[in-house]
Amino acid sequence: MNSDIRKILESVRAGSVSVDEALLEIKKDPFLDLGYAKVDLHRKIRQGAAEVIYGSGKTPEQITGIVGALRDAGQNTVLITRLSSEAARQVALVHPLDYRPEARAGIIGSIPVPDGIGTIVVATGGTSDIPVAEEAAVTAEVHGNEVLRLYDVGVAGLHRLLNHMDDIMKASVIIAVAGMEGALASVIGGFSDCPVIAVPTSVGYGASFQGLASLLSMLNSCASGVAVVNIDNGFGAGIIAGRINHMAVKQ
Amino acid sequence: MNSDIRKILESVRAGSVSVDEALLEIKKDPFLDLGYAKVDLHRKIRQGAAEVIYGSGKTPEQITGIVGALRDAGQNTVLITRLSSEAARQVALVHPLDYRPEARAGIIGSIPVPDGIGTIVVATGGTSDIPVAEEAAVTAEVHGNEVLRLYDVGVAGLHRLLNHMDDIMKASVIIAVAGMEGALASVIGGFSDCPVIAVPTSVGYGASFQGLASLLSMLNSCASGVAVVNIDNGFGAGIIAGRINHMAVKQ
Amino acid sequence: MNSDIRKILESVRAGSVSVDEALLEIKKDPFLDLGYAKVDLHRKIRQGAAEVIYGSGKTPEQITGIVGALRDAGQNTVLITRLSSEAARQVALVHPLDYRPEARAGIIGSIPVPDGIGTIVVATGGTSDIPVAEEAAVTAEVHGNEVLRLYDVGVAGLHRLLNHMDDIMKASVIIAVAGMEGALASVIGGFSDCPVIAVPTSVGYGASFQGLASLLSMLNSCASGVAVVNIDNGFGAGIIAGRINHMAVKQ
Amino acid sequence: MNSDIRKILESVRAGSVSVDEALLEIKKDPFLDLGYAKVDLHRKIRQGAAEVIYGSGKTPEQITGIVGALRDAGQNTVLITRLSSEAARQVALVHPLDYRPEARAGIIGSIPVPDGIGTIVVATGGTSDIPVAEEAAVTAEVHGNEVLRLYDVGVAGLHRLLNHMDDIMKASVIIAVAGMEGALASVIGGFSDCPVIAVPTSVGYGASFQGLASLLSMLNSCASGVAVVNIDNGFGAGIIAGRINHMAVKQ
Amino acid sequence: MNSDIRKILESVRAGSVSVDEALLEIKKDPFLDLGYAKVDLHRKIRQGAAEVIYGSGKTPEQITGIVGALRDAGQNTVLITRLSSEAARQVALVHPLDYRPEARAGIIGSIPVPDGIGTIVVATGGTSDIPVAEEAAVTAEVHGNEVLRLYDVGVAGLHRLLNHMDDIMKASVIIAVAGMEGALASVIGGFSDCPVIAVPTSVGYGASFQGLASLLSMLNSCASGVAVVNIDNGFGAGIIAGRINHMAVKQ
Amino acid sequence: MNSDIRKILESVRAGSVSVDEALLEIKKDPFLDLGYAKVDLHRKIRQGAAEVIYGSGKTPEQITGIVGALRDAGQNTVLITRLSSEAARQVALVHPLDYRPEARAGIIGSIPVPDGIGTIVVATGGTSDIPVAEEAAVTAEVHGNEVLRLYDVGVAGLHRLLNHMDDIMKASVIIAVAGMEGALASVIGGFSDCPVIAVPTSVGYGASFQGLASLLSMLNSCASGVAVVNIDNGFGAGIIAGRINHMAVKQ
Amino acid sequence: MNSDIRKILESVRAGSVSVDEALLEIKKDPFLDLGYAKVDLHRKIRQGAAEVIYGSGKTPEQITGIVGALRDAGQNTVLITRLSSEAARQVALVHPLDYRPEARAGIIGSIPVPDGIGTIVVATGGTSDIPVAEEAAVTAEVHGNEVLRLYDVGVAGLHRLLNHMDDIMKASVIIAVAGMEGALASVIGGFSDCPVIAVPTSVGYGASFQGLASLLSMLNSCASGVAVVNIDNGFGAGIIAGRINHMAVKQ
Amino acid sequence: MNSDIRKILESVRAGSVSVDEALLEIKKDPFLDLGYAKVDLHRKIRQGAAEVIYGSGKTPEQITGIVGALRDAGQNTVLITRLSSEAARQVALVHPLDYRPEARAGIIGSIPVPDGIGTIVVATGGTSDIPVAEEAAVTAEVHGNEVLRLYDVGVAGLHRLLNHMDDIMKASVIIAVAGMEGALASVIGGFSDCPVIAVPTSVGYGASFQGLASLLSMLNSCASGVAVVNIDNGFGAGIIAGRINHMAVKQ
């Protein structure tokens, strides 16, 4: 596999292959087959993101094995999401692990120095939304973003949000995390002129229908500049916010 | 029928029936059978409301007939909701009609002088919500309430709402009418300490699902003090707001 | 924080700030940041309600901490909803707690003497609806309302409801709590001329879909004067009923 | 085809086939293929019902053709449901037609003398439910049942229903037709000890979702003895009510 | 309470009250308040059914208490549905209990001799539907019906059903119990000319959505003569089938 | 474009490219850009199917243009689905068109001689399902399949289906088309040992929810060997049935 | 039972019954009643499939009993699906069992030598879809099919799928197993010209709604040649794919 | 109003108000009340966007009036979305209008020279998605973005998309517009490392449920870096994509 990439790069150096062609070639490239998973060793090249392991439904042994393969391939930082504290304890026996219980996430390797355009603000409507928000925040930090957390600023006490107007207005991207009626996204979207990534959460009961109410609410936001990810998908919000925050740098 | 009521009242005067019993008796009482509808001539006594005719699905002739029966029975004011302009034109040939096209409502007789506790504020998120709001406002006015309209104050431009904080705070009841994500109810509910009646509207498209998004949003409001009526049910909101606004007077 | 309010009040006394402006200023005011929650010390002023702690998802330590902060700030009565008996036992070690197992609610401090307009009737369709009804009843009592409980008066045995016609008719507000088909709200709404707050419950099975059937039923009530809160939201019903019952007093 | 049946019957007379076997054989029997429809000439034997033509989506010519085939086969009475007034006019040119515009139904031939156990009561919540109720009533009448109509007796004015308690209690079967929240079925089911067939209608708006609200409400009825047919399915209700009402006679 | 009834009956004997009036009076009558439940001692008179206790959500002590009150009031047979085996064991310590584990039902007192018109056939699509079917069968038996069980005759092996054509054709009422796609009701409805009560069950997975698929399927049955009860509602099916089967006897 | 393919084929002849590689190359190949559509000239090679034009939403001019381009590229037969009779009339002015009004489909060019394994049976529950069934039948015929139509054999009159047992049993593939409760797929699936493609239709009303009831029913079929396509998707059923029927030939 | 079949076959030999009639007769034939299940001993004849026991909800004793009856009747291979490892351990005490934990399936008897047309490819989007895919694969293998597994080739890393283009193109049938957005079926359907059986899985969270998202996605596939089975229904996919793969052989 | 802003700006110049405070002040600022709408004259400052008029539900006169007010206030470019061709014709009589029929959008004033970071690619699955895509494209162009259109590149013919890999890879933001199963977003998201805004469309039929299928599909995308806007919301996608594309410039 490595030899494949070396060949491509040598062709580039030799001028027989253009840089663009090489990049395309590499993107079509290989992965390591561990039996229980096809580990994508080049995703950072292809998608601008460190490898992330979705921990839910994987045994600690499987996680440990994937981490080992990635580290062997030179990956500096590995993020493990949806990692239970029990699994974390077992993974930590093999790899040095920075476990964040609120985010249910584990980090192996160092968190990079922020190099994005600005600050990503992660705001939540209530305290129960914090686990999803933390997953978003940690994901963004692992991908080189500075993150500012504004928790429990829901619209039922709008003065809490108004107190942080400066932060809202200075943000380069805002991740609005809310369950129940999800109005936070609309209110933030109305105040701000930066892209807003809305994350509905399954917080609520009764007619919240496990996050459906806030999902629909956010999709129908009367404020423009709002896009939505799946219910409880803090990880997805962190990824796209991170990409947005690195746009100028990329070019 | 009238003789029935006379008997009851004579029994009250004679002391053989208490006032409460009489009231109860009257409440169990009669209605006029027009063939196509059982007209409830005593609803005002029973429910504290003037008779209202739901115009949708009734012919102008039927509406005219019911109005006539009600007027004969001494009803001063009759409200006809969901009345098309075509039907209104025909009804107006028979009964003097005050037609409100935006509310799709017609009023026969005089609007009573307001005698409620305070002012009912009717607020909308956008201009498209106005027909529903007007139905609520006219319904409330016909039942003796002072109404203040605050239209197009949705949360996407929160400063428009903040400009009217005084009105919000002085209201005795607030009717919050909004489609799309329906966040208006939560934001108003967070500012205000009076009862808020939320009316989801079918305004919106796509995942608004004809008002489902705002309905669920309002039911899951993180602000307390909010209760919800059916989608586009301006009439229902006007009725309950009017009852709330007349509580002290009733006792 | 207190100094902020003092400044405002001194300005009022000095005449440089009007009462209304001061009230508005206070409403925009502060909250105590405990790290795990932003405690709103002025909610009573802003929304006319004592602070309520939503116990679900909070540790006993967190609850105890919030209670302490509120008591320090002079709050007489604190209501904790969705409080499990286990958590209650632990909270009771620190603060004297009046625990109501049926309502899954705990009260710290004294229940105020009722000072509302009249009596709030809390009615249920069946015995399984009682926990939700008790949450509503206790919430209303904690906020200064007299409450009359009419349990197990569902429409399948209408004579049980008819037996309590007097209570229904004397109520200032009625909270109708029902699962299954939720017809109680419509029947009560047909009899009564006071505002009816309907609470669908998740009681039922099969096509009740965790309360969806009664929610839709109540939203479509053919009786006017009915507004609906979220499924199982006894707390919300108690709050808005309490506000309605205090309207005349407020003015 | 007739010859097939003759053979079966001759076998019965000859004793080589039992009556039960013959009936079974006949039930497996033939139908007339008109090209556009397989007309079931023996359905009366197989299901105890006259042939019914579902008029919706059939041309007047097709309806006329099917009626002709049925009449030729000796069918006395033919019911055509969902028959528009336009189509009725054209059918009436060929066959003498008793058209009932409210039921959107046409009858060819005579309505049989009632020979059921008792009276089928058809009750509706409102006037808008009458078309569905009439379809049920006419269907039942065509199948030999006496029908009593109680229209506009919805639970919002329960006294209208209480006025007809005698009728409710004497019914052999009750068909409860209601849209909106469909509470009529539960209230009638609570009063009555006869089988109740509930018909949800699509009457309503907003969160009635074209009859879903009343459908779910009726399925979750807290009264026992209630079973439900499809939304707006007056025909189905008339059929099963008629079968119930003919039970004793059949044996 | 008893004295109330005695008075009524004496009035009847004295001629001052007609039998019908008396019956109506009794139907509006009393119930025993045990604190945790209003026990309806006259339901048999009012609805033609023995008292049934819905065991789910009640403690063994509560069940035992209600049974005692009913037995004291002269009730011969008491059916307890949704009764877990653990609760049954405890109830059996106080009252002699005939527990049917498959039906999750307990019977106290004797099962009456069948006195209905004919036989109620209870058919299931598969073996997993048997608990719901047994609840229906036991309910019917306790109310004086002869029951014939045809289990595991689903349409995927139609010959199993065809083998029982005689039973299907002789039934006075058929209860068709099926999960998954619920086609059993339509096929039986096509063969039979007696009323069919369809019971969707929550048996299935994936897009069965806990019984929604079979519920919708049964409501849309192309066979006429089918009415539907709630998902898994074997009890409801048993009740209405029993009433149908007792029609002629009642008159 | 043609030159591209010629090059590939020449390489194959020269041995520098294997047949499989060539086929793969061709499959990645070109399409004709008409501005309003990218016409796929090689789909027959890639997917074994003649080009099909989805007529809905295209103007007669656009359809005519696409047909022209396809015919120029050597396509013998073109199928146009969802073609209104108005559009058909206009297309027929330019290209000789065999229009099938029931299927709402037009055929240009000759229908190929059937060359599949056996016969595809297309069965419908009722007459209203025929348009969808015809779309399936015509699609299959255009792709070289022999088709046998069994219409109006729904389960409510199972004898109609039993009459055609031989056809069912000899089929190589069966397409079961049904609306309402969609039980036809299960019953046919229980009788047959060939693959069954089920097509739910939007035929029905009320709780059929535009075909949802039959869709869910078919997905939950208790008979194995059944797979389902989209509601009203006769075309999709015809395509996959045709592919199945050509399997052995392909190898 | 056997004697029944013998009689039929003797009649065939004697010429009094044709082969087709005999086959039909056998198909209508018997099953063994074990009390808890009607075991279908002739399903292999009727549907071309070995008997399969759906293990979920059956006790190990019941499973063991059914296996015994089937083996006694001469069945070579028995497949038990949805078999927990605990139940497997107990069944293995009585019958030699080949248990596949990933598929949650047990096999008794030998897996037949593949005799289908070609290879069935089973592809999954992710690793979490493997249990469903394995159920499909084992089911197909037990029914005489060669199976090629392509796991973890979801569209988020399309190069993984492109790497296996040869396998995709050589397949006789493809089973596409995917949760989340289920796009795998469309992409494979676009590449391939063989029948594609799509299996949505309940893998995902939030707005996947337990597989609804992938189910709807697959039903709406823009690629033709795709049909869908129930969510997580690997067994159903294996059955129909196996039948398709045996088509030519059957004729 | 203008004087208000002048005051603020003078305070800034005087140093008594910081730039940030001034910006905040302006954002809380005024709007012009036309009676039928509150026109927000400072939205460009507040949200970085030109004013957009949602044309649906407004009369040509209202649109013309709003445009006039905006132009008077100095707005260079006004975008009118959801503008019918009829309304466009009337607006064009008053203001010079550049009408784009496919996008159903009108532009008044000049389209600014692109000044974003890079190119926004707008891709569609099919030709029917083009109106939504055009709304997105025109919205982005009006807000100063360069747009590249890639239409009809759906996954059923993946080679069409692969042909444009270079464009996909060079994009700064991609808007993926697709109905039916919406797989386009996942496939593009898998190839690309830039933010992807997914727009589900209501294109499709049957179980697409007016765009629900593609909405759920996109929300559950297995590719990271994808966020979703409302069904058919091309405008919303254009706005957020434009904001992302202007990030670096803004700082």
Distance CA E120, CA E146 (A): 6
Give residue C91's identity as a one-letter amino acid code: V
CA nearest neighbour of C192 among C221, C168, C218 = C168
pLDDT tens readout for residues F199-246: 999 999 999 999 999 999 999 998 889 999 999 999 999 999 999 999
Residues of chain G with pLDDT under 50: 1-6, 23, 26-31, 42-49, 249-251
List beta partners, residue E112: none
CA nearest neighbour of A193 among H241, H235, H46 = H46
Q: Is D194 helix (H, G, I), strand (E, B) or coil?
A: coil
All residues at 6 or more sequence positions from G196 whose CB lies less than 8 Å from its CB, including other chains: F240, G173, G174, G175, G176, G185, G188, G189, G223, G225, G226, G227
Chain H: nearest CA to B250, how far in angstroms?
37
CA nearest neighbour of A139 among A81, A200, A63 = A81
Q: Cβ contacts (< 8 Å) between C192 and chain B: which residues? A: 47
E94 touches chain D (CB under 8 A): no
Distance CA G104, CA G96 (A): 16
Looking at residue C155, what DSSP letter applies? G
Chain CA centroid to CA C95, Å: 22
The answer, yes or no, to whether G and D have at least 3 beta-carbon pairs within 8 Å is no
CB contact under 8 A, D181 and C208: no
C49 touches chain B (CB under 8 A): yes
D36 touches chain F (CB under 8 A): yes
What percent of chain B is predicted at pLDDT more than 90? 59
Q: Cβ contacts (< 8 Å) between E219 and chain F: which residues? A: 181, 206-207, 213
Q: Is a pLDDT exceeding 80 seen at residue A201?
A: yes
CB contact under 8 A, H221 and G158: no
Band of pLDDT at residue E33, cut at 50, 70 and 90: low
pLDDT on residue A11: 61
CB contact under 8 A, H247 and A245: yes
| Minimum-distance CB partner of H217 among G183, G189, G206 | G183
Band of pLDDT at residue E45, cut at 50, 70 and 90: very low
Q: Cβ contacts (< 8 Å) between C203 and chain D: which residues? A: none
Angle at Cα C121 formed by Cα C115 and Cα C123, nearest 5°?
155
Q: Is B196 helix (H, G, I), strand (E, B) or coil?
A: strand
CB contact under 8 A, B216 and A209: yes
A94 touches chain H (CB under 8 A): no
pLDDT on residue B97: 96
Q: Residues, chain B, total?
A: 251
Q: Cβ contacts (< 8 Å) between H231 and chain B: which residues? A: 205-207
F125 touches chain E (CB under 8 A): yes
Token pair, residue D107, equals 């009858």
Looking at chain G, which residue has its C-alpha nearest residue E181? G230
E179 touches chain C (CB under 8 A): no
Chain E: nearest CA to D173, how far in angstroms?
9
CB contact under 8 A, D206 and B36: no
| Minimum-distance CB partner of B225 among C192, C239, C245 | C239
Contact C8, C26 (CB under 8 A): yes
Q: Residues, chain C, total?
A: 251
| Minimum-distance CB partner of F240 among G46, G227, G235 | G227
Chain F: nearest CA to H45, how far in angstroms?
39
Q: Is B210 helix (H, G, I), strand (E, B) or coil?
A: helix
Of residues A179 and D74, more confidently modeled: A179
Q: In F100-114, which positions are buried (b, 16+ CB within 10 angstroms) versus exposed (e)?
A: beebbbbbbbeeeeb
Q: By CB neighbour count within 10 A (0-12 exposed, 13-18 middle, 19+ buried), where does E170 fall?
A: middle
pLDDT tens readout for residues E83-104: 999 999 999 999 999 999 999 9
C233 touches chain A (CB under 8 A): yes
Q: Is a pLDDT exceeding 50 seen at residue D18?
A: yes
If residue D231 lies in a helix (H) or strand (E), which one and from where to where?
A: none
Band of pLDDT at residue E13, cut at 50, 70 and 90: low
Chain H: nearest CA to B179, how far in angstroms?
14
Neighbours of C208 (CB within 10 A): 25
All residues at 6 or more sequence positions from A48 whose CB lies less than 8 Å from its CB, including other chains: A243, A246, A250, H193
Classify strands D119-124 and D173-178 as parallel, antiparallel or unpaired. Answer: parallel
Q: What is the CA radius of gyration of chain H?
A: 20
Q: By CB neighbour count within 10 A (0-12 exposed, 13-18 middle, 19+ buried), where does H224 fall?
A: buried
| Minimum-distance CB partner of H224 among A49, A225, A247 | A49
Average pLDDT over residues D9-19: 58
pLDDT on residue B28: 46
**Partners of chain H (3+ Cβ pairs below 8 A):** A, B, F, G
CA nearest neighbour of E189 among F181, D63, F245, B89 = F181
For chain H, the first-to-last Cα distance in angstroms comes to 28
> Where in chain C does DSSP place strands (E)?
32-33, 38-39, 52-54, 78-81, 98-100, 105-108, 119-124, 146-150, 173-178, 196-200, 226-228
F249 touches chain E (CB under 8 A): no
The answer, yes or no, to whether E and A have at least 3 beta-carbon pairs within 8 Å is no
Distance CA G213, CA G229 (A): 14
Band of pLDDT at residue E248, cut at 50, 70 and 90: low
Average pLDDT over residues E186-190: 91
CB contact under 8 A, G29 and E159: yes
Chain E: nearest CA to F167, how far in angstroms?
17
Chain G: nearest CA to F185, how far in angstroms?
13
**Angular region, G51: left φ>0, alpha ψ -120 to 50, beta rest:** beta
Distance CA D122, CA D119 (A): 10
> Where in chain E does DSSP place strands (E)?
32-33, 38-39, 52-54, 78-81, 98-100, 105-108, 119-124, 146-150, 173-178, 196-200, 226-228
* Per-residue CA distances from A157 to A73, B189, C19, C41 (Å): 49, 9, 21, 12
Give residue G216's identity as a one-letter amino acid code: L
Q: What is the largest CA-CA distance in chain D?
A: 65
CA nearest neighbour of A114 among A70, A168, A72, A172 = A172
Looking at residue F18, what DSSP letter applies? -
pLDDT tens readout for residues F4-43: 444 555 565 566 765 555 555 544 444 455 555 555 554 4
Q: Is a pLDDT exceeding 70 seen at residue C4?
A: no
List beta partners, residue E78: E108
Average pLDDT, chain B: 84
**Partners of chain A (3+ Cβ pairs below 8 A):** B, C, G, H
| Minimum-distance CB partner of E222 among F180, F221, F223 | F180
The answer, yes or no, to whether H and E have at least 3 beta-carbon pairs within 8 Å is no
> Is the C-alpha dihedral spanning E158, E160, E162, E165 positive or negative?
negative
Distance CA G234, CA G147 (A): 14
| Minimum-distance CB partner of H206 among F36, F37, F233 | F233
CA nearest neighbour of A164 among A121, A196, A116, A223 = A121
> Where in H50-165 does DSSP place strands (E)?
52-54, 78-81, 98-100, 105-108, 119-124, 146-150
Q: Which of C129, C152, C214 to mutate to test the interface with E (most CBs of E within 10 A)?
A: C152
In which residue are the tokens 């509207």 written?
B201
CB contact under 8 A, B49 and C224: yes
pLDDT tens readout for residues F154-186: 888 777 888 888 888 889 999 999 999 999 999
Q: Cβ contacts (< 8 Å) between C179 and chain A: which residues? A: none
CB contact under 8 A, A37 and G157: no
Average pLDDT over residues E169-191: 93
Band of pLDDT at residue H58, cut at 50, 70 and 90: confident
Q: Is a pLDDT exceeding 60 seen at residue E207?
A: yes
Neighbours of D100 (CB within 10 A): 18
Of residues B29 and D111, more confidently modeled: D111
All residues at 6 or more sequence positions from A10 whose CB lies less than 8 Å from its CB, including other chains: none
C140 touches chain B (CB under 8 A): no
Residues of chain B with pLDDT under 70: 1-15, 17-50, 248-251
Band of pLDDT at residue H46, cut at 50, 70 and 90: very low
All residues at 6 or more sequence positions from H165 whose CB lies less than 8 Å from its CB, including other chains: A24, H191
The answer, yes or no, to whether B and G have at least 3 beta-carbon pairs within 8 Å is no
Q: Cβ contacts (< 8 Å) between D222 and chain C: which residues? A: 125-126, 154-156, 180-181, 183
Token pair, residue H91, equals 């607006």
CB contact under 8 A, A183 and B154: no
| Minimum-distance CB partner of F128 among D57, D212, D233 | D57
Average pLDDT over residues C12-17: 62
pLDDT on residue H28: 46
* Per-residue CA distances from D209 to B231, C219, C223 (Å): 10, 11, 18
Q: Is E122 helix (H, G, I), strand (E, B) or coil?
A: strand
Asked if the interface predicted TM-score (ipTM) of this complex is over 0.90, the answer is no
CB contact under 8 A, C152 and E37: yes
Q: Cβ contacts (< 8 Å) between F162 and chain D: which residues? A: 28
Average pLDDT over residues A29-58: 59
Contact E77, E51 (CB under 8 A): no
Chain G: nearest CA to F89, how far in angstroms?
27
D236 touches chain C (CB under 8 A): no
F159 touches chain D (CB under 8 A): yes
pLDDT on residue F166: 82
Average pLDDT over residues F98-116: 94
Distance CA F67, CA F37 (A): 12
Average pLDDT over residues A162-190: 91
Of residues A168 and D97, more confidently modeled: D97
Chain CA centroid to CA H207, Å: 29
A202 touches chain G (CB under 8 A): yes
pLDDT on residue H34: 55
pTM confidence score? 0.87
In which residue are the tokens 């069945």 written?
G75
Distance CA D1, CA E22 (A): 58
Looking at chain G, which residue has its C-alpha nearest residue H218? G181
Classify strands C32-33 and C38-39 as parallel, antiparallel or unpaired. Answer: antiparallel
pLDDT on residue C37: 54
Q: Is a pLDDT exceeding 80 seen at residue C112?
A: yes
Q: Cβ contacts (< 8 Å) between A222 and chain B: which residues? A: 125-126, 154-156, 180-181, 183
Average pLDDT over residues A157-180: 88
HSE-CB at D201 with a 13 A cutoff on CA atoms is 27
Distance CA C146, CA C137 (A): 9
Average pLDDT over residues C87-102: 95
pLDDT tens readout for residues H75-98: 888 999 999 999 999 999 999 999
Average pLDDT over residues H24-30: 47
Looking at residue E210, what DSSP letter applies? G
F191 touches chain E (CB under 8 A): yes
Distance CA D213, CA D224 (A): 19
pLDDT tens readout for residues B94-140: 999 999 999 999 999 989 999 999 999 999 999 899 999 999 999 99
What are phi and psi for residue E37, nearest 5 degrees?
A: -165, 145
Token pair, residue H96, equals 């010079």
DSSP output for F152-212: S--GGGHHHHHTTHHHHHH-SEEEEEE-TT-HHHHHHHHH--S-EEEEE-S---GGGGGGH
CB contact under 8 A, G217 and H213: yes
Domains of chain B: 27-108 (no CATH), 119-245 (3.40.50.1970)
pLDDT tens readout for residues G208-245: 999 999 999 999 998 889 999 999 999 999 999 999 99
Average pLDDT over residues H29-49: 49
Distance CA G215, CA B210 (A): 24
What percent of chain B is predicted at pLDDT more than 70? 78
